[in-house]
Structures are given as structure tokens and as C-alpha cells.
């Protein structure tokens, strides 16, 4: 059984899409159409921009969505039983599954990215990567901190990202180091993603997406919020909204797929390294591959 999985922020790289744009007419048309939908030159930033430009949330999210979608355009009858994505990647999975079309998906992604960027500007926050402690210990420390700090990304066993206020994260890092964390370090991110500090973004995003028609996906989609496969359009939408303030349960999602019989996973888009790297830490018996199958 095979799952196609789509990465989120952190998988971008300068020059992403250049080979696809040159070798595939269908992919090139998709990149150009994306510029028309967004109203600015995303392709130029992706192919020729700087790392600082590309890591801006308003740019990163549509860039990864477009790159992943372009990676799929020349694949006839792709062989997968499940789809899923890490954070932003879940929106890509829904487009591939036919929950909405490419244009609708890109508009949703753009609105989500803008809402998250605005929330970061209005409510300062940050995130930190914690390595080498059990999830329960990290969760207990988050609960003990006076300011807002929560578990945000359950990436793989022994690797958890926390999110919250700057002062709260600083306090949590100090405690987690005392508890024996091998690494507890702030991430270079714009704000406190997947935490209560994203409530403003969630409210704005919900207002936008609530009236958009979601269709039944061609195959089940494993969602970040629940870590189980879902096919009901309204539940897909509700969990997508919740995701902005809820943790990404990636470890649990992959364990669910393994229990369902997954033997192969394909990471689609981005640098092709992030999700495959996490899978090696979750279960080395799972065969991994990437699309596009060209050097990043």
C-alpha cells in the first residue's frame, strides 16, 4: 500500500521548480497560471528569488502548493491508496484528491498564508525544536509554563516542536534543557504556528473557507488534527480550520498509515527530504521515494 505525502513550510529551497518549468509544458502552464491567480510573480521568486524572500509565509505556502501540484501534472494514473500532508501540505493533498480544483486550492492557500502572516505581525510568538525527550515530558513542561506554550508538531519519536509566546518558549527551553533534552533551540519562524496565538488567523480563514464547496476525495486523506483517514467533505473542512490552532500529529498519522498497511511513501514537492527523513525515524522498514525525481 502506498501513500503520497506533501510537505509544509521548511521544505522550500531557492530555485524550486526550475527543472519542472523547463522540462514540462504542463508544469510551466501551471506556474504561469498561478501567477495570474495570485496577482504577483510567484514563479520568479521561486526560481530566482532569495532565501529570505522564499521563507516569508505569504510566499512559502503558495510556492510549496504550486511546486507539489506541478510535480504531479505529468503522472498518469498515480498509484496511491492514501494522501496526506504536513500542515500546509494537507491543503495540497486535498487538491490532488479532487476536494477542490487547483485554482480554488491556491486561493485557499493564499488566504491562509496571508491570515497567518497577519496574525504573526499582530501577536508575536515563536517556536522551538525539542529533541531527545519523551512527548509526555515535553507536554508536561508546556503545561507548567505560565505563558502560552503548546506542543505544535509531533514530527517523529523524540522530536517535537513547541509553539507559543516568546517569553514562554524561552522559559520552556530552559526547563527542557534541565530535563535532559539533547537539543532545545528556537526556530527561525515568523510566529507561533499551530498554537492558540493563531486564533486570529483561524477566525479569518474560517470566514473565507466556510462557504467553499468541498467534494468527496478520490482516496482518503489522513488529517493532521485527528491522525486518521477522512473522506467526509465537511469533516475535512472542519479539521482543516482547526489545524491552525491545533498540533500537527505527524508521528501518529504515520503510525496510523503503517497500521493500515502502508509499505511505501512518496514525498511530493519541496526538497524531497523532510518527510522522508521523519519516516526513517518513525519506521525504517517503510520504503520512501520522492517526486519530482530530479536533483533538488
CA distance 261 to 106: 32
In CATH, what number is assigned to the domain containing residue 284? 3.40.366.10
Domain-located, residue 158: yes
In CATH, what number is assigned to the domain containing residue 162? 3.30.70.250
Give yes or no: residues 61 and 89 share one domain: yes
Asked if 264 and 287 touch (Cβ cutoff 8 Å), the reply is yes
Give yes or no: residues 201 and 272 share one domain: yes
Give yes or no: residues 7 and 134 share one domain: no
Of 138, 157, 186, the last residue of a domain is 186
Side-chain-side CA neighbours of 2 within 13 Å: the count stands at: 11
Of 145, 162, 186, the last residue of a domain is 186
Give yes or no: residues 7 and 98 share one domain: yes
Task: Supply the range of the domain harboring residue 214.
Answer: 2-122+196-291
Domain-located, residue 142: yes
Asked if 149 and 162 touch (Cβ cutoff 8 Å), the reply is yes
Q: pLDDT value at position 296?
A: 41
Asked if pLDDT for residue 295 goes beyond 50, the answer is no
pTM for the model: 0.96
Domain-located, residue 296: no
Domain-located, residue 150: yes
Share of the chain above pLDDT 70, in %: 99
Which pLDDT band holds residue 61 (cuts at 50, 70, 90)?
very high
Give yes or no: residues 287 and 203 share one domain: yes
Q: For residue 7, give the nearest of 295, 294, 291, 293 by alpha carbon.
A: 291
Q: pLDDT value at position 294?
A: 53
Share of the chain above pLDDT 90, in %: 95
Told to judge if 239 belongs to the known catalytic residues of this protein, a careful annotator would answer: no
- Taken as a whole, the chain contains a residue count of 296
- List the alpha helices (DSSP H) in the chain: 18-23, 25-38, 42-48, 51-54, 57-72, 88-96, 102-122, 135-144, 166-178, 199-209, 233-242, 250-259, 274-282
Question: Rg of the chain's alpha carbons, rounded to an integer?
Answer: 18
pLDDT digits (tens, 9 = 90+) for 19-53: 999 999 999 999 999 999 999 999 999 999 999 99
Which pLDDT band holds residue 293 (cuts at 50, 70, 90)?
low
pLDDT digits (tens, 9 = 90+) for 165-194: 999 999 999 999 999 999 999 998 889 999
- Active-site residue identified among 67, 194, 195, 239: 194
Q: pLDDT value at position 270?
A: 94
Give yes or no: residues 84 and 132 share one domain: no
CA distance 220 to 253: 13
Q: How far is CA 172 from CA 107, 135, 141, 188, 249, in A?
A: 36, 14, 7, 17, 20
Give yes or no: residues 213 and 275 share one domain: yes
- Active-site residue identified among 67, 71, 86, 87: 87
Give yes or no: residues 272 and 160 share one domain: no
Number of structural domains in the chain: 2
Q: pLDDT value at position 2?
A: 97
Asked if 270 and 16 touch (Cβ cutoff 8 Å), the reply is yes
Give yes or no: residues 108 and 226 share one domain: yes
Asked if pLDDT for residue 161 goes beyond 90, the answer is yes
Q: Helix or strand or coil: residue 263?
A: coil
- For the residues 223-233, what does the mean pLDDT come to? 98
Give yes or no: residues 114 and 130 share one domain: no
Taking the chain, what is the end-to-end CA distance rounded to the nearest angstrom?
26
Give yes or no: residues 21 and 93 share one domain: yes
* Residue 250: how many other CB atoms lie within 10 Å: 28
Q: pLDDT value at position 261?
A: 97
Asked if 252 and 238 touch (Cβ cutoff 8 Å), the reply is no
Give yes or no: residues 151 and 108 share one domain: no
Asked if pLDDT for residue 148 goes beyond 50, the answer is yes
- For the residues 267-294, what does the mean pLDDT come to? 93
Domain-located, residue 52: yes
Q: pLDDT value at position 41?
A: 96
Q: pLDDT value at position 77?
A: 84
Told to judge if 71 belongs to the known catalytic residues of this protein, a careful annotator would answer: no
Q: For residue 74, give the nearest of 30, 8, 10, 121 by alpha carbon.
A: 30
Of 149, 166, 186, the last residue of a domain is 186
Domain-located, residue 191: no
Amino acid at each position: 500500500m502506498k501513500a503520497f505525502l506533501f510537505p509544509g513550510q521548511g521544505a522550500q529551497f531557492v530555485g524550486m521548480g526550475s527543472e519542472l518549468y523547463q522540462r514540462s509544458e504542463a508544469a510551466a502552464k501551471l506556474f504561469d497560471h498561478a501567477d495570474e491567480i495570485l496577482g504577483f510573480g510567484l514563479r520568479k521568486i521561486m526560481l530566482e528569488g532569495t532565501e529570505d524572500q522564499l521563507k516569508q509565509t505569504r510566499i512559502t505556502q503558495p510556492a510549496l502548493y504550486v511546486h507539489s501540484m506541478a510535480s504531479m501534472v505529468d503522472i498518469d494514473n498515480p498509484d496511491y491508496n492514501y494522501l496526506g500532508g504536513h500542515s500546509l501540505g494537507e491543503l495540497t493533498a486535498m487538491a490532488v484528491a479532487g476536494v477542490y480544483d487547483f485554482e480554488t486550492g491556491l486561493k485557499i492557500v493564499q488566504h491562509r498564508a496571508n491570515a497567518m502572516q497577519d496574525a504573526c505581525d499582530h501577536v508575536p510568538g515563536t517556536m522551538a525544536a525539542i529533541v531527545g525527550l519523551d512527548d509526555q515530558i515535553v507536554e508536561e513542561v508546556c503545561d507548567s509554563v505560565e505563558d502560552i506554550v503548546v506542543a505544535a508538531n509531533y514530527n517523529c519519536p523524540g522530536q517535537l516542536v513547541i509553539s507559543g509566546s516568546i517569553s514562554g518558549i524561552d522559559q520552556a527551553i530552559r526547563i527542557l534543557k534541565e530535563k535532559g533534552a539533547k537539543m532545545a533551540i528556537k526556530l527561525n519562524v515568523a510566529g507561533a504556528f499551530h498554537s492558540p496565538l493563531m486564533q486570529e488567523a483561524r477566525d479569518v480563514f474560517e470566514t473565507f473557507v466556510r462557504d467553499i464547496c468541498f467534494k468527496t476525495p478520490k482516496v482518503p486523506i489522513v488529517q493532521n488534527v485527528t491522525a486518521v483517514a477522512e473522506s467526509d467533505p465537511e469533516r475535512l473542512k472542519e479539521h482543516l480550520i482547526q489545524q491552525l490552532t491545533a498540533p500537527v500529529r505527524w508521528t501518529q498519522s504515520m503510525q496510523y498509515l503503517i497500521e493500515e498497511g502502508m509499505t511505501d511513501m512518496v514525498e511530493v514537492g519541496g526538497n524531497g527530504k523532510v518527510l522522508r527523513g521523519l519516516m526513517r525515524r518513525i519506521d525504517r522498514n517503510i520504503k520512501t521515494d520522492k517526486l519530482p525525481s530530479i536533483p533538488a
